[in-house]
Each structure stands twice: as C-alpha cells, then as structure tokens.
Chain A
C-alpha cells in the first residue's frame, strides 16, 4: 500500500519557470490538500479538494493552481516560480467527514533561484 506519493522529491527552478508537483493516493480518499512548510511558520494550506472536480483555495493560494480530475491525483502547478515559493511542499489526503487524520506524502523540497 503506497499511501500518498509525491514526485519529485527535490527540484530546483529558475525564477519564472513553471512546473507541476505530482501527488497520487491509492486509498480512495475523498479529501486531498497541499501544504507548504516554511521555517517557524508550520504548515500552511495552499489548496484543497473535497472530491473529484471540486477544488478550493486555502490560506496561501497565490501563484499556484490545482485540479482534481480523478479521485487519485491532485497535482499542484506553479505558474511562474518566484524565490518566495522556495519551500517544502506536502500533499495530504483523508477519508472524509468524521475522520480528520491526514495521511501526508514525504514532501517535495523546491528551491527557486
């Protein structure tokens, strides 16, 4: 059982480049989320989805797009990378209402130069 799989694990981008961080889960979870972790700030919610075809913004959505065409996949797109987006990104999923324990992926460390 793979759980939540994130790719790539590491990425270096130049300012202005775009890229997609991949997230896939094999637990048939309805809810998926993207967080970023920065020193001293905990994890901040970027975007989330309560099911296929439904997405919504979290606390820090600017500069990021998401889509949820299938239950399994929830990619995060950086439209035009900026140094402020240097961070560790975590994807998470949960079964839904009544069960709040997220399963997190192992993270993607992104550096924008």
Chain B
C-alpha cells in the first residue's frame, strides 16, 4: 500500500495560469516533505521542501502548502511556464537523517503555450 499518493497521473495547464499538484500521505509520522521535478532522461532535481512545523513555504513561483490534519500537501506554480513541463514527485520522510524518503508515483505536468 502506497504511503505517498499522487492521484493525478497527469495535468495540463495553459501557460500563465496556476498549476496545482496534489499529494496525500498515510503515515502520520512523516515530518518533512519535498517536491522534485524530473525531465526525461535526467535525474530528479530538488524543487522545494517543507517541514511539519510550517504550513507554507515559498520559493519564487513555487509554493508548497501542508495540511497535517488532512495529511495533504500541494505544490502551486504561478505563473506556469512551458519549461515547467515535467514529472513532479512528492516525497516524505520521518527519518531524522533524511535518508528514508518515500516517493509518490509522480504527476506529469504539461504547460501548453
């Protein structure tokens, strides 16, 4: 049973609009969450993170929101650009050393010009 779920395998958004990628988790012990972005034939690249003591973290066009009571986090990209087209993975850990991350299956985002 997957502990980290990304229920939308794909998402299409018009350039300039907001992209919202969702992630749900089942393990209440998870206390640190990351988003990674992956282009074809490349390794994932770290995008943004959030710890459980916060409910929001912003970095430029990217904002991650965490709702611990709902075990839900989301990544907002505003405004979306064609270069944002990629697969986005949500990851979570309860490990103090940050090694045992559990990844979701990914959501493929397509930003249409």
Contact = CB atoms under 8 A, between A and B. Distances in A.
Given A42-B103, A42-B104, A31 B97 contact: yes
Nearest to A6: B43
Interface stretch (A11-19, A62-70, A71-79, A92-100): A92-100
B44 A104 contact: yes
Contacts of B98: 31, 94, 97, 99-100
Nearest to A90: B43
The majority secondary structure among interface residues of chain A is strand
A33 B98 CA distance: 11
Contacts of A100: 32, 34, 49, 93, 98, 101
Interface residues of B, number: 28
Interface string A80-113: 0000000000101010110111111111000000
B45 interface: yes
B97 A104 contact: no
A25 B6 CA distance: 30
B42 interface: yes
Interface string A35-59: 1000011111100101000000011
Name the residue among B6, B36, B43 with the largest chain A CB count within 10 angstroms: B43
A50 B105 CA distance: 25
B26 to A, nearest CB: 14
A4 B100 CA distance: 19
A106 B98 CA distance: 21
Nearest to B6: A42
Given A42-B106, A100-B32, A106 B42 contact: yes
Interface of B: 2, 4, 6, 9, 32, 34, 36, 41-46, 49, 89, 91, 93, 96-106
Nearest 9 CB-CB pairs, A to B?
A104-B43, A42-B103, A101-B46, A100-B98, A43-B103, A42-B105, A48-B99, A104-B44, A106-B43
Interface of A: 4, 31, 33, 35, 40-45, 48, 50, 58-59, 90, 92, 94, 96-97, 99-107
